[in-house]
Each structure stands twice: as C-alpha cells, then as structure tokens.
A and B are shown apart, each in its own frame.
Chain A
C-alpha cells in the first residue's frame, strides 16, 4: 500500500508535483498515467525516498521509505533500466543488491532464471539490449520478493515479445495479491494492463478511479455510420437533436443516438447504409479529453528543445543518463 498526502515537489519556480493525493492498494495493477513531464517519475522517486518532497508526505506500508533498513523486502522498483554500472556483470549487480538487504545468494540465481538472463548473467551489463536491461532491472525488483512493485515506463522501447512478457508478469504479480504501480504515457498499454488508474497532468492528480469508470466518465460512445447518401442522412439525424460530426472518410459520428435508431431513420427514408455500428470510447479518448489542458509540451509548438526548468522526467525517452 502506497499512500500520498499533499505530496508536492518544486524545482525552483516550477512545480513538478502539486499536492498529489492518492492511494495504491494491493491485488490490482494501478496504472500511473500522464503525459511526458507530468510528474510521474518525480512522484515515484519521492515514494522511494530518492527525492525529498517540498511538502506533503508519502508512505509505503505506513512508513517513510528511508526508514526501511531492508527495503527490497517491501518494495521492488524499476525506475530506469540503465541505472546500473555497465562494467559489472548482471550477476554481480544483483549480488550487491541482495547482500545489502541480507538476501541469500541463491535468490540471485532464482531471479536471473525468472527473467531469463541465465546465458548472459556473467557478462557486463553495458552490452545488454534495452530489453535485457529491463529484465535485469525487474530481476532486481523481484529480489526481495516484495509485496509492492513499482515500474516506471517499463515497456518503453521494448519489442512486442518483451512488452507481452512484462504485461503478463505485472498481471501475475497483482493476482498474487501484490501492489503493482506502473507508470506509462502509453494509453494503449495501460488499457490492457491496468485495473485502476491514477491520472496525472502537470503535477496534479486528475483522477484516481477504476479503468472502466474513468473511460465512462471522460468519453462517450458514438454511432458510426457510413453511407453514399450522407448529404441526405445528416440533416435527418441533426433534426432529432443529436450531435452529428462528419469524418473525412465519408462517415458520420452520431452522439447520443443508438445504432437501431439511426438504422431505422435511414430505412424510413430509403437511405442506403454501408456501415453502422457503435464505437466504444477508448482510454485514449478519455485521457485526451481529461488532459487536454494539461499536456505540457504540445507537439508542433515552437518550444526550445529543453525549456529552462524542465524537470528531469521531461527528458524524452532514451535521453536518460541524467545525474
């Protein structure tokens, strides 16, 4: 269980995390969703005691992280797959971590087997691919068999096989009753992984709710209709008081109507339909609607590449290696 109360982090004049309140509970995958630079990584670093909150408080199982003498038994975290000394072998890297928390050596072999790194375990990790680095980071997170797991953008840059592997792993960990807290800016990924969402934008928590509830609350379904006689159909639908929008591919989006109603109207007026169906809203739409105003760096705007005062987690993926 992770609990944040009024958690705030300021870097100079810039507020990276702004009075965040949320709770992450066991037994489900909680997605931490937000655009790049929204404060996800900063929040995670504060949970792990790496960064000090400017105000507010965050606890893990009722304690501050820095009070734990052997935290790997409580929390396993993958913040940055590249946060290892490249000259050290994967095995020795995990051994250092295990020893610091009094974890026996055989557990190192276990987690290496668990993530499938046996063949490269004795090699320096600097030669690892991103996927292998991610697996090494996850092996480290699993060392102490912790009840809480945190992953920061775990699928970034992974190939489909790696993504599927991580997705399955996170679901399994949650089904074992563990707390799984995973951040991502990839809606599609969250939609298939997370049961619960904490949504952050510009440092503020915008939602802390179930996945289905979130989509229902923030986006509406619509009827998609395609016809060679759209010009005739559109005024008929609009006349019923429904909001109608036309798509460039010669289809209409009808909000507030059922597909049966639209089909009946077409039939009554002998209008041929080529397609008719309900479109369920996606997490993406819900998210876009919610965060419309909070996206930090809109594409296409003539922003300097790294605006002054950019929090470290605004660095684009792959631009890591920050001190």
Chain B
C-alpha cells in the first residue's frame, strides 16, 4: 500500500501473534485487584441470595399455600439470586475497558497493540474465559448451597432432575455472556459510571418495565428482552411466558454479538 521505501530496514518487521495479545490481556486481567473483588462480590451476592431465599422459603413453608409450594423448582433460589447478582459480572466487563479509558492506559495499550480488532477480541476472549470459569463455580455453588438449605424441609432437588444440570451450566455461560456484553457497552461509552448504569438498565430495569407492558404484545416483547431471554436458561422447564432455554440464551448471545460488533466498528474508527 505504501510505496514510500524505508531506508534499508536493518531487520525485518517483527511479528507478534494474536496469542501474544491474548497473553497480554490475560496478564492484565489478573494483575488488577478489581477483577478479584468484583468476582468475589458477584459470588457472594449470588450464592448468598440463593441461600437466603431458600432459607426464607423453607422456614415459611408451613404457611405457604399449595399453589405457592408448587412453584418451587430446584433452581428457583438460583434464578432469583442471579436476578440480583448478574449485574456485578457486568460491572467486571465494564471495568476491563473503562479503567483503561479512565486512566489513559488505553493509549499505552493501543500503542503496543494497534490492531484494535485483535485487541478487543483478545479482551473479550480473556474476560469471557475468566467469567465462564468463575460463573460456573458460582452457578454450581449457588445450586448446591440452596439445595443444602432446602434439604431441611426435604425440598431439595438434584442435578439429575430434568433440565437442572442444563440450567446450572447455562447459568455459568449466561454470566460470561453478560460480562462480554458489558465489555461492549463499556467500549461504546468509555466511562465507568455511564456504562454501569447502561448495563444495569439492560439487565434489570428493562425486565421490570417489560413486566408492566400491557396485553399480548407486551408479553411477546417481554420475553425477547435481553434479561428475560438470557434468564430462560435458568429454568429447568419452559414457563409459558418465556422463550425456550437455548433459544433464549442464543438470543442473548446474539444481542451480545451485536453490541460487540457495533463497539468494534466504532472502536476502529474513533480516536482513542
């Protein structure tokens, strides 16, 4: 492309592979304390809430109506805990990129890794990988802890029950996708506070608004909302007002991909 001849380059231009960029991002995410603290906070909220809810359910079990008793699935405590805790994993995704903008590190990073597509892809892969592992641990821990509490009233289920193992594994995948979507949001907005609010709106507020939408179309819109689509994976069955588990999670993955692609296009074009 450039015809301008460099004056006798002494050495050929050295190459660095995508693997180098991945390794760099891996080191980056492990060498800031916020990674550890955010994951710990997410774990405490999800595991803690599922245990608390299970405790509340078992202790008030005798006063519950048969209809209420019947709503309990093995994954119900986990589902409710995810509702409150999933945002924290989004915060980690946001922080991974917005702290770079906030500190100016982004300019140092892009000076070392000017191929922005590689850079963002490496960030997404490393973040997704870290949160997938952490999310699986959280998801399984949340399930087992809540079952241990439910055992008091002999209400506990097992991973062998229909759809349960899929729900628990899906929970880990869902958390990883949330983090990656939040990375996209953070890349678009560049500011921590704004991005966290945006993620909170997507995952939390939209779901609440969806519940108030009237009529049949409201119900339809509601189940396609990101948080409702993604959370479908957490149910062992398919409740009537929800997408089927893998369709829901697939749709959430699609939303994530869209956010990430838009973020990448702007990231490539805009000044750092």
CA A84 to CA B5, docked complex, whole Å? 34
- 8 A Cβ contacts from A22-58 to B: 45, 48-52
A59 lies within 8 A of B2 (CB): yes
Q: B118: nearest residue on chain A (CB-CB)?
A: A69
B interface size (C-beta, 8 A): 47
Q: A83: nearest residue on chain B (CB-CB)?
A: B104
CA A320 to CA B16, docked complex, whole Å? 31
Q: B16: nearest residue on chain A (CB-CB)?
A: A70
A100-B24 contact, Cβ under 8 Å, with A48-B111, A71-B111: yes
Q: B26: nearest residue on chain A (CB-CB)?
A: A99
B114 lies within 8 A of A88 (CB): no
CA A147 to CA B123, docked complex, whole Å? 29
A69 lies within 8 A of B15 (CB): yes
CA A3 to CA B6, docked complex, whole Å? 10
CA A320 to CA B107, docked complex, whole Å? 13
A85 lies within 8 A of B269 (CB): no
Interface string of B80-108 (1 = CB under 8 A from A): 00000000000000000001111111111
A interface secondary structure, majority = loop
A102 lies within 8 A of B17 (CB): yes
- 8 A Cβ contacts from A71-88 to B: 71-75, 77, 79-80, 82-88
Chain B residues lying within 8 Å of A207, measured Cβ to Cβ, are none
A84 lies within 8 A of B105 (CB): yes
A62-B2 contact, Cβ under 8 Å, with A50-B111, A89-B31: yes
Chain A residues lying within 8 Å of B100, measured Cβ to Cβ, are 85
A sample of 6 inter-chain contacts (CB < 8 A) reads A51-B272, A69-B14, A71-B114, A99-B24, A100-B20, A140-B108
Q: Given known contacts A79-B111, A321-B102, what 14 new A-B pairs fall within 8 Å (CB)?
A: A48-B111, A50-B111, A50-B272, A66-B114, A66-B116, A69-B17, A85-B105, A88-B31, A96-B24, A96-B28, A97-B24, A100-B23, A100-B109, A100-B112
Chain B residues close to A by CB (< 8 Å) = 1-2, 4-7, 9-10, 13-17, 20-21, 23-25, 27-28, 31-34, 99-116, 190-191, 269, 271-272
